[in-house]
C-alpha cells in the first residue's frame, strides 16, 4: 500500500525496506531486529508495534505529498533530493555517479546527448538521470514542502 511513498523516501536518501505481502508478525520482527521504524496504514498493526516498543508511524495522508509531509515533520526528513545520499527507488541500494562516456551504448542516443549527469544503482544496475520526469518530482516535493509548512503552523 505504501509502494509510492517507499520510492520517494529512498530517493530522499532514507533506507526503506518494503514488503507487500509479509505477515504482520514478520514485519514486526524485522522492525524490531533491524531497529527500523514501521510505516503502515493499518491501525491495528500500528498499535501492535507500539505495544512492542517499536517506533511506528501511522500513515494517514491521502496524497503522496501529504504522506511525505507528515513523515518529514515527524522525523525531520529534508524534502530535497541530494544525489550523494539518494537510494535506488527500486531496490534501496545507494546510487553512484557514472561517467557520461561510459553510457554511450547503454542509454538511448537522445538521452545520452541531452544529459551529462547519470547515476547507477550499485546493486540492480538501474541508470538514473534528471530527465523530463524530474520537473514532476521537483513539483511534488515543492507541494510536500508547502504542506509541511502548514502542518508546522498547525501544531
Ligand atoms: Zn537498484
N residues, the chain: 155
E-only strand ranges, the chain: 38-40, 56-58, 95-98, 118-121, 127-128
pTM of the model: 0.93
From the CB of residue 61, how many other CB atoms can be counted at a distance below 10 Å?
A: 17
How much distance in Å is there from the Cα of 44 to the middle of ligand 1? Answer: 32
How much distance in Å is there from the Cα of 81 to the middle of ligand 1? Answer: 17
How much distance in Å is there from the Cα of 14 to the middle of ligand 1? Answer: 14
**pLDDT tens, per residue, the chain with 155 residues:** 699 999 999 999 999 999 888 999 999 999 999 999 999 999 999 999 999 999 999 999 999 999 999 999 999 999 999 999 999 999 999 999 999 999 999 999 999 999 999 999 999 999 999 998 899 999 999 999 999 999 999 98
How much distance in Å is there from the Cα of 82 to the middle of ligand 1? Answer: 17
List b or e across 10-43, with b for residues whose CB sees 16 or more CB atoms inside 10 angstroms: bbbbbebeeeeeeeeeebbebbeeeebebbbeee
How much distance in Å is there from the Cα of 107 to the middle of ligand 1? Answer: 16
Amino acid at each position: 500500500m505504501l509502494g509510492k511513498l517507499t520510492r520517494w523516501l529512498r530517493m530522499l536518501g532514507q533506507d526503506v525496506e518494503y514488503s507487500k505481502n509479509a505477515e504482520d508478525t514478520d514485519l514486526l520482527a524485522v522492525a524490531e531486529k533491524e531497529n527500523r521504524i514501521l510505516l503502515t496504514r493499518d491501525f491495528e498493526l500500528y498499535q501492535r508495534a507500539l505495544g512492542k516498543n517499536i517506533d511506528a508511524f501511522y500513515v494517514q495522508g491521502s496524497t503522496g505529498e501529504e504522506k511525505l509531509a507528515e513523515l518529514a515533520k515527524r522525523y525531520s526528513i529534508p524534502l530535497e533530493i541530494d544525489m550523494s545520499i539518494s537510494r535506488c527507488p527500486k531496490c534501496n541500494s545507494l546510487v553512484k555517479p557514472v561517467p557520461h562516456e561510459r553510457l554511450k551504448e547503454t542509454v538511448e542516443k537522445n538521452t545520452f546527448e541531452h544529459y551529462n549527469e547519470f547515476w547507477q544503482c550499485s546493486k540492480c544496475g538501474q541508470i538514473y538521470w534528471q530527465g523530463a520526469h524530474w520537473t514532476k518530482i521537483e513539483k511534488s516535493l515543492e507541494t510536500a514542502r508547502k504542506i509541511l509548512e502548514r502542518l508546522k503552523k498547525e501544531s
